[in-house]
Structure 1
Amino acid sequence: MLSLFNSKRRKAAVALVKAARARGMTVEEYAKTLSPAELARFVPQDEKPKSELLDVTRWGLPAGKEVSAAPFIADARVAEAVAAYRDGDWQPGATLLAGLGTDWDRRAFAVQQLGDAAADDDAPLKEWLASGSADAAVVNAQGLVALAWQIRTKQTPEHVSQEQWAGFFRVLEDAEAATRAATEAVPEDPTPWCTMLMVARGRQYDNEDFRTVWAELVARDPLHRFAHDQALQYWCAKWFGSHEQMFAFADEAAAKAPKLAGLTVQAAHEAEVKGVEAWKSERTQRALDVVVPWLAGEGRDHPASHRDRAYAAKALVENGRCDEAVEQFKALGTHADALLWAYSASPEREFVKTRYLACHGATRP
């Protein structure tokens, strides 16, 4: 049975029992007749389902207690380089970046992960910079951006203190200078221009100045996945765009290549967060018809696949495509660290709740 210690849970449980009795059914029988969306009405927001009506392990999914929002790096090579850096050794990271060559998406992902590690501890980075490495300059720029966002925190603007804002802008100013130095050190590399997009959003570039940075990026790689992710955030209504600009950007991106179709699904989520219905739109459904096959094929090991699977899983559940959603959750395993889940007060609970609804609506275990 649902736990009754929380008033929201109690009300949800009572409503479910009443609805079942009105139909002459047990709770278990009635629940089996509900669609995922109908069942969600009996699950309080940000609460994971605690009903014993369904065991997700029947679908080959890990138990809810195993789910974690801890950061996860699916690419083993990147994970190993980051682990070595955190142990004080920058050389595996240097070797990795040198070996990636012009695999710009994977290089950007590796730089982001190494930059996050550098934001926590810059001692290894200082040694790396002292070697004269241009790659170290690229990681340094990303690390300063990551540090700035750490200082700002993930809180909404009204909950960020004046001291945090001051530190954020101060470090971003240093990050901007470091990023420009990196663009000069590796003039053909789009990676520091991807970092500059993050600087532009943080330093509140106006639309025209942002487009100037964007032009530099696409001149080097017009299909750069992580740059498109950053630009989508800029064009969101919560930053410096609007729903119309966000969807226009996502539509244009999706038309370029299958690996960019996930932006449309991300945009749907951003719209829903603002109260605009978008999950069940024809635009989102068309995007899913591209994203799901891409994740099963060419995009299976793409560094953006972990994020795209989370958005796809949520959108598939919202559209009643639960068998497909279950497959995405199988690939996600225990990892609830994608940005999508972080919009909730408890990423793990939101992940588990959505996964539960996927299994409930699936036609087969």
Structure 2
Amino acid sequence: MGIISLLFNPRRRKTAMALAKAARERGMTVAEFTSSLSREDLARYVAPDKKAPHVTVPDVTKFGLPPDADVTADTFVSDREIDEAERAFVSGDWKPAAQLLSEIGTGWDRRTILVRSLGEAVANDEAALDLWRDERPGDPDAAAVNAEGLVCLAWQVRSSLRAEHVSREQFQKFFAILESAKPAAQEAAALAPEDPTPWVTMLAVARGLQYENDAFREVWEQLVARDPHHLPAHNSALQYWCEKWFGSHELMWAFAEEGAAKHPKLARLPLVAAHEADYRGVKGAWRNPLVAPAVDRLLPWLDGEGRDDPGTVTSRAYAARALVELGRGEEAVEQFRHLGVHADALVWAYGNKGRIAEFKRVRYLACRLVQKA
């Protein structure tokens, strides 16, 4: 909208002036201020237009959803035991984490989630891990956490920015740390030959070190030989097969289809693929013929056997997005009821205004679909 046309439209001029004044009072630009507003807040600044059709912004609380102000992007750990073990580890006590890893046993998905959370803590402070390894030399669980910690540190150094925004020095440090993570993961794998967890870490190493497709497949074969239905591993591998890394849309969809056929919990994969393709500008990505059947396979599992699965919260976030895209408002709202205030899933991170804004945007759309039904 050009500035001249804005000035000659009284309604838009009043709206622009009101927004500019409010932004100035808060020491913000108009763009910063408007991006911070919910749709209800923004609607209050818009002068009424008798000629324009009346559009009602849904009151999400009437659909059994928490108000906008309560939505948070803070990391949500639905597993209380993992949350408590991580908190103790961060404070310097490694024993609760070691005990929980022992109790988890062959619950590989849950084990990987705990090892990953401990690895993120180690990337910031190695004190608890050092105590653990000093007291228990050769402990396979400590070795797995050490390897994952190096991977987390490498990605912390690289940052989550696109490659063109990462400095040469950052890349050099990133590759150097990953090179040290590789033997660390191999050591962890040797100490626990049946455990897929070190191989999940190796998938991240392989992606970061830019393995060719065949070399990546060799790592993948080691992983699935230990757990063919490992959800965190499938999520990691799907990223490798995306066009933005070392695959293509065709390879990504093929991998998603193959995984979804293995187990209902892996039916999330076509939804992740659709989200990735949509973000890359592929028209009609959500209408891919794999998406609707994947949703129909995933939802019963989320409400049944998978209700307490470690990956359920994230799967519900992808399901909510997919259901909105498919025009299935009632089912989408139900998923948002399960999600509550939590907007930390990766699916919400791709919007230009941040996770909270994207979460609320899709949630509004779900409610609008119900209104129109």
TM beyond 0.5: yes
Cα root mean square deviation, aligned: 2.5
Q: Name the counterpart of 1:122.
A: 126
Does residue 99 in structure 1 map to residue 103 in structure 2?
yes
Does residue 227 in structure 1 map to residue 233 in structure 2?
yes
Does residue 167 in structure 1 map to residue 173 in structure 2?
yes
Q: Percent identity?
A: 52
Cα distance in 1 between the residues matched to 2:224 and 2:194: 11
Cα distance in 1 between the residues matched to 2:157 and 2:364: 35
1:1-365 to 2 correspondences below 5 Å: 4=16, 5=19, 6=30, 21=51, 25=53, 27-28=54-55, 31=56, 53-130=57-134, 131-132=136-137, 133-276=139-282, 277-345=284-352, 346-363=354-371
CA deviation string 1:82-119 (max 9, x = no partner)? 01111111110000000011111111111111111111
Cα distance in 2 between the residues matched to 1:355 and 1:16: 25
The answer (yes or no) to whether the contact 1:323–1:364 under 8 Å persists in 2 is no
CA deviation string 1:260-298 (max 9, x = no partner)? 110010000010011112112321111111111111111
Q: Which 5+ residue runs of structure 1 have no aligned equivalent?
A: 32-52
Cα distance in 1 between the residues matched to 2:31 and 2:153: 40
The answer (yes or no) to whether the contact 1:323–1:358 under 8 Å persists in 2 is yes
Cα distance in 2 between the residues matched to 1:106 and 1:145: 19
CA deviation string 1:334-360 (max 9, x = no partner)? 111111111123111001111111112
- Change in 2 beyond 3 A, CA 1:315/1:184: same
Cα distance in 1 between the residues matched to 2:361 and 2:127: 41
Cα distance in 2 between the residues matched to 1:72 and 1:336: 9
Report the secondary structure of 1:282's partner residue.
coil
Amino acid at match of 2:210: Q
Amino acid at match of 1:194: V
Cα distance in 2 between the residues matched to 1:7 and 1:231: 37
Cα distance in 2 between the residues matched to 1:314 and 1:140: 35
Higher relative contact order (CA 8 A, sep 6+): 1
Cα distance in 2 between the residues matched to 1:280 and 1:85: 44
Larger radius of gyration: 2
Q: Name the counterpart of 2:26.
A: none
Offset, 1:363: 5.0
The answer (yes or no) to whether the contact 1:336–1:347 under 8 Å persists in 2 is yes
The answer (yes or no) to whether the contact 1:254–1:261 under 8 Å persists in 2 is yes
CA deviation string 1:166-208 (max 9, x = no partner)? 1111111111111011111111101100110000000000001
Question: How many correspondences in the alignment?
Answer: 337
Find runs of 4+ consecutive structure 1 residues off by over 4 angstroms.
Answer: 1-4, 6-10, 12-18
Report the secondary structure of 2:252's partner residue.
helix
Cα distance in 2 between the residues matched to 1:360 and 1:191: 42
Moved more, 294-303 or 226-235: 294-303
Cα distance in 1 between the residues matched to 2:310 and 2:51: 49
CA deviation string 1:19-77 (max 9, x = no partner)? x836xx4x14xx5xxxxxxxxxxxxxxxxxxxxx3211112211112111111111111
Q: Which 5+ residue runs of structure 2 have no aligned equivalent?
A: 1-10, 20-29, 36-41
CA deviation string 1:226-271 (max 9, x = no partner)? 1111110000000000000000000011111101110010000010
Cα distance in 1 between the residues matched to 2:347 and 2:116: 18
In the superposition, the TM-score normalised over structure 2's length comes to 0.85
